Amino acid sequence: MTLLSRFVPHMVVLCLALLLPVAVFADDWRPIDPADMALKSPVVEKDADAEAIIWEVRVADGMEGAIPQTVFSHYVRIKIFTERGRESQSKIDIPYLSNWSIRDIAARTIKPDGTVAEIRKEDILERVIEKDGGRKIKAKSFAMKGVEPGAIIEYRWKEIRKDRLANYIRLDFQRDVPTQTVKYYLKPLSLPGFTYGMRAQTFHANANPFVREKDGYYSTSMTNVPAFREEPRMPPHASIRPWMLVFYSEDRNLTPEQFWKTFGKEQFEKNKGRMKVNDEVKQAAAAAIGDATEPEQKIQRLFEFCRSKIKNVNDDASGMTSEEREKIKENKSPSDTLKRGMGTGYDIDMLFAALAIAAGFDARIVNLADRSDILFDKRFPDDYFIQTFDIAVKVGNEWRFYDPASTYVPYGMLRWQEESQEALLSDPKEPVWVTTPLSTPDKSKLKRTAKLRLSEDGTLEGDVSVEYHGHLGVEKKEWEDEESPAEREETLRKSVKARLSTAELAEIKIENVTDPIKPYTYKYQITVPGYAQRTGKRLFLQPSFFQYGVGPLFTTSTRRHEVYFNYPWSEEDEVTVELPEGFSLDNAESPAPFSAGAISEYKPSVSVTKDGRKLIYKRKFYFGGGGSILFPVQSYGQLKIYFDQLHKHDNHIITLKQGAVTAAN
Amino acid sequence: MTCFKLAKLSVAFFFLTVTSAVAAPAEQAPGWLQQAAAVSVPTYDKDTPAVVLRKEQAVTVASDGRITTVTTFAVRILTREGRAFAQAGELYLTQTGKVREMTAWLIRPNGFVKKYGKDQTVDRISNPNDIYDEYRVRVIDAIDDADEGVVFGYQSTSEERPLFNQDIWNFQNRLPTLVSRYTLTLPTGWMATGVVFNYKKLEPTVNGSVYTWELLGLDPIRPEPASPALRNLAPMVAINYFPAEVGSPKAFETWSQVSRWGAQMYDPLSAPDETVAAKARTLTANAKSELDKIRAIARFVQNLQYIAIDIGVGRGNGYKPRPPAQVLAKAYGDCKDKANLMRAMLKSIGINAYPVFIYLGDPTLVREEWPSPTQFNHCIIAINISEETKAPTVIQDAKLGRLLIFDATDPHTPVGDLPDEEQGSLALVVAGDSGSLLRMPTLPPDSSNLDRQTEIVLTSDGSITGNLKERSIGQTAVNERRAFRSLSNPDYKSMLENWVTRGATAAKVSKFLTNDDSESGKFDLDMEFSAPHYAQDMAGRLLVFKPAIVSRRESVFLTEPTRKHPVVLDSYAFTETVRVKLPGGFDVDELPDPVKIEVPFGSYKTSYEVKAGELLFTRSLAQKAGTIPADQYQSVRSFYQRVRAAEQAPVVLARK
């Protein structure tokens, strides 16, 4: 798979030589540019309802006595263009935690005629949003006065976060409104003996290079940043929004290669004790492997042992009560996990590694990123993103990847979030980057069959079976494993009625919901009055029963962001329809197959039994072949055409006529 | 496998909060909860999530009017989804009330008891969307600990100085309830009266100054689409309490009393100062008629931003508007602020008006039998008008004369119209001794209509290009206007594309134009669009298509075969004419049969005609607002099923 990389390998280290007093805002507001007052339409996006002229944040780390703190000083100036802009920008909420403080709030509206309405102290309301025990979430709130289209609003405040520094904080360059200039000032902590340097790494941002400012600040900025808008099937936010990660690390002057080498060695040392093999582990491995002789077979048995015999206490569907969880003791070794028959996800993965080692395999921990958070790039030399892990086992000359702690993920697959990821294979000497495989479309299959009878009034009834395999099954199981049988039935009824509103379901069987191995399965009887449309002499039938009532995937003609599918998948349908007495096929033309190279293929077929009484519709579809799950925005038009064509063909209708007989094409 | 990142730096000031779970010793549930848990529960439908074993409130009134309320609640969880009911919640007002104590227990089927006290209690604001709101709620959440078979119960004690000597007790929510009891203990010499709703007659048992209303064995109230509000289904009692000899101004016996109470709050604040009067003069400078003046002021007030800041609610400020000059200066306010500002502005130009208390959301909820301001949640305005002014929202009152009803908070509904959810509602015109509960106007169905004219060119490959013109009036126009105004231009276009695409795959909107004439209550949409292969080509012999292209009814909302409660329908009407220019070389082979359905609650009609190479398809739907009894459910369900079937019916063209 090729994931587009928008990462710019340029990290700035901010060092402070002098310790100077923290700069504060000037007492007065900054002068308003008459051109901004006169502005009649937005600069950045022509249809914007409001536009930030300035959005500036100063982030200063320092010490308050012996306590560290970060002071955020915010300054926002927004031009209002429409009533919608007024509605969305006039109410300001500043949430904060009880050990933080908000100070120096000031806000004002400059009306189009130049008059100014300033917020007074009594207009600022403090609310405790929530409190429990010693924790409080508070907010300071106020409403801007006299806001109208043409006005400029501006507000500023200071947020003091005690007991912490600006370490691993994400700073956005993009807001809910377009922004003419967004600027960050960063001031690192300077303390004798403090050997960590503040670093800033931008992502997907063409930010200006850092500039040294007065009072110990460094600044960077972006101009003309459009507003962020959600779109369906888009990559994770961290991979499309411009943002900056600010963190501290020791100035070891390591290249990415050097950093990862060191980190990979540390990981090996840190985890090797947790993979320790003793006699109990050896015995357990031998018992689990049993008569298996082939390496792959042995691994699979160890994997299934860990997945099905060791309870994952982190799993929300483990069935444990809160009291039982409170009593859980920490496992310190694989044999502890074996003895107790339960453990955390980490314990289970470590036990699996130990069992594999006991069986004579080389097994390691691999560290990798979560693809639902960010599309990782190893040129960023920090472990911030690679917080997930799996077990790599060498089978023959190949490293294979396993995660028995993810209960529902089939053998040979990883959670989709961990597939197709660069993973650091730990090693005492030479850690290396390997890539986890992306499962092919056939691994995540939706397999559906329906044996149906059509009445002459258009009612369709019969038996339906649906199986969810691979990632599709994992998602279904994770979603429903905590639900009651009645709730699962209701979920099914709702999903069927959402596309076939007149449908009635009976004899519902939902199987393998919590089974780690067998596919999640629905079986039910269905009756759908008015499924086929009757005219005077014809019946019109959509043979793709499972696609009836499903809307097109993409509906808008334009797109801002790349299109991202979480994983490849496939669908395989077989629908048999017994035709009503007195009717036969007038036209049983099959919709045409089509494909998009190796990425996708659609193969429908319509046939008729020899006696002409049964229509057999088969449909095969897959998407994401060749690892293609991320598409640039320029491809949206083609992608939309492809899925529109799919929708069109799925809505293909065949005609039944009283009397006439026609063979299928 | 995922894990959390640990603090990378071990320096002392990298703050790490650790919440350690400490195993609690085994607890014991109080006797009342053990008794409730021991009760055998009737068999309910398998999808009944939980059954309330005991729902009780004991209210003790002190002679100074303070009340202490002890709430006792126990529920047995029957299904996994029923876990959501393992939660305790008590609402209070920060300035005049407090929750003194709150404790909950969870009893597992094996008898294990878990207790929840102060450390497990969360105190949060009731409505996070308001800039400021004094309502808070104290919550104990045992959802994560609960499962099928557990019994959850809690007891809380609250203190309050209520604004009124009135209270409401809802005997149940949607869950079946075995025991529901409200006990009121009054000071010596006081008495209580109650009005019971949604239930046959129910008298309290009275023991000295202790009044008890109790119901046992209440069935579940299942949610059903288009059902009356729960408040119109679940039994409830509305209570007044007061010293028997002298009565109480805080327990209203008549609507006039409520009107006087409201007027003493509003009237002193309705006087316009010079800034308000000057603004009114400016706004009405070019207005020629009384209606023009009202419209000019209405337009200004309804366009002020709606922002609610409720301070001092427990002392009555939730009912009290801010001074009009203040609202004018800030350019925002809530419903009462806007109604009052408008009243002041009108007063300054010689037009009298009154605030109107109303319930926004369901016009059937306000009950005449129980005069109380607590029945309302919104404030609009009634304007005294002369005979010169004509408008559909005028009502006649014997004491106050002609009143033009207007909602100054709704930015989309102009003078002469009224939001759907207020039409036909009982509302209190606050006019001192002359005030009364009046029925708000209901506009005729044809005052809210959508007319759509669509012209389509169909080509021989099934593709279409179309031109659509929609003309909406009244509340239908309000809905269109709301969507249009809430979305940016690109988002509105996306919304249109979504809409068209639902009926015609791969449709593209090439152009659209709107005309939002809120003054006259109209909204126009003109749109050009195209869709490839809309009609299906059948082996080159036939072309099949559905002539209802947009807003085609694909589904029915009344899907269940049976029903327990009435069906509530809103007023709605549309007419559509679709002209399809047929491709050369094709004849019409089959047309769907025309449909004509007339039922007491509405009508639906379609027609098809082919003339000079053009198909003319018309459809019209009129739905009357009303409540249809449950025993007529099948006729309502059948009506919409037939409408759906008619809109799915295809036209068949055959190649010549």
CB distance A558 to A639 below 8 Å: no
Instruction: Report the complex ipTM.
Output: 0.81
For B369, the token pair is: 């039998």
| CA–CA gap between residue A391 and residue A410 (Å, rounded) | 15
| CA–CA gap between residue A404 and residue A411 (Å, rounded) | 8
A325:B305 CB<8 A: no
DSSP B421: G
The helix/strand/coil state of B266 is helix
* Residue type for position B214: E
CA angle (B536, B537, B543) in 5-degree steps: 80
| CA–CA gap between residue B345 and residue A402 (Å, rounded) | 74
Any idea how long chain A is? 665
**Nearest CA to CA, how far is B71 from chain A (Å)?**
21
Chain B residues 452-511 with CB within 8 Å of chain A: 485-490, 494, 497-498, 501-502, 505-506, 508-509
Cα-Cα-Cα-Cα dihedral sign, residues A368, A372, A373, A376: positive
CB distance A211 to A84 below 8 Å: no
| CA–CA gap between residue B250 and residue B256 (Å, rounded) | 13
Give the pLDDT score at A129: 85
For A260, the token pair is: 């990862």
CB pairs under 8 A between A and B: 218
Ranges of chain B whose pLDDT falls below 50: 1-24
Kindly identify which residue of chain B lies nearest to residue A534, measuring between CA atoms: B649
Cα B88 off chain centre by: 24
For B18, the token pair is: 């650790």
Partners of B541 on chain A (C-beta within 8 Å) are 587
A146:B23 CB<8 A: no
CA distances from B30 to A105, B103, B107, B215 (A): 50, 10, 11, 23
CB atoms under 10 Å from CB of B453, counted, come to 15
Ranges of chain A whose pLDDT falls below 50: 1-9, 16-26, 661-665
| One-character DSSP codes across B228-261 | PPGGGTS-EEEEEEEETTT--TTS-SSHHHHHHH
The reply to whether B125 touches chain A by the CB within 8 Å rule is yes
Contact residues for A480 (Cβ-Cβ < 8 A; gap 6+): A487, A488, A491, A513, A520
| CA–CA gap between residue A626 and residue A535 (Å, rounded) | 46
DSSP A646: H
Strand B426-429 and strand B353-358: the pairing is antiparallel
Element (H, E) at A197: strand A196-203
CB distance B595 to B641 below 8 Å: no
Strand B50-61 and strand B177-185: the pairing is parallel
Cα A385 off chain centre by: 14
A346:B3 CB<8 A: yes
Give the pLDDT score at B18: 30
Give the pLDDT score at B299: 95
| One-character DSSP codes across B506-528 | T-EEEEEEEEEETTTTEEEEEEE
| CA–CA gap between residue A131 and residue B93 (Å, rounded) | 16
A323:B112 CB<8 A: yes
CB distance A165 to A117 below 8 Å: no
Element (H, E) at A259: helix A256-272
**Nearest CA to CA, how far is A199 from chain B (Å)?**
14
The reply to whether B528 touches chain A by the CB within 8 Å rule is no
For A198, the token pair is: 């503040």
| CA–CA gap between residue B8 and residue B2 (Å, rounded) | 17
Kindly identify which residue of chain A lies nearest to residue B144, measuring between CA atoms: A322
Partners of A47 on chain B (C-beta within 8 Å) are 488-490
Who among B79, B131, B590 is closest to A487 (CB)?
B79
Give the pLDDT score at A12: 64
**Nearest CA to CA, how far is B598 from chain A (Å)?**
21
A633 conformational bin, left if phi > 0, alpha if psi -120 to 50, beta if neither = alpha
**Nearest CA to CA, how far is A485 from chain B (Å)?**
9
Kindly identify which residue of chain B lies nearest to residue A321, measuring between CA atoms: B145
B617 conformational bin, left if phi > 0, alpha if psi -120 to 50, beta if neither = beta
For B620, the token pair is: 């019209």
A63, A132, A303: best mutation site toward chain B, by most B Cβ within 10 Å?
A: A132
**Nearest CA to CA, how far is B499 from chain A (Å)?**
9
B650:A647 CB<8 A: no
A487:B81 CB<8 A: yes
| CA–CA gap between residue A345 and residue A351 (Å, rounded) | 10
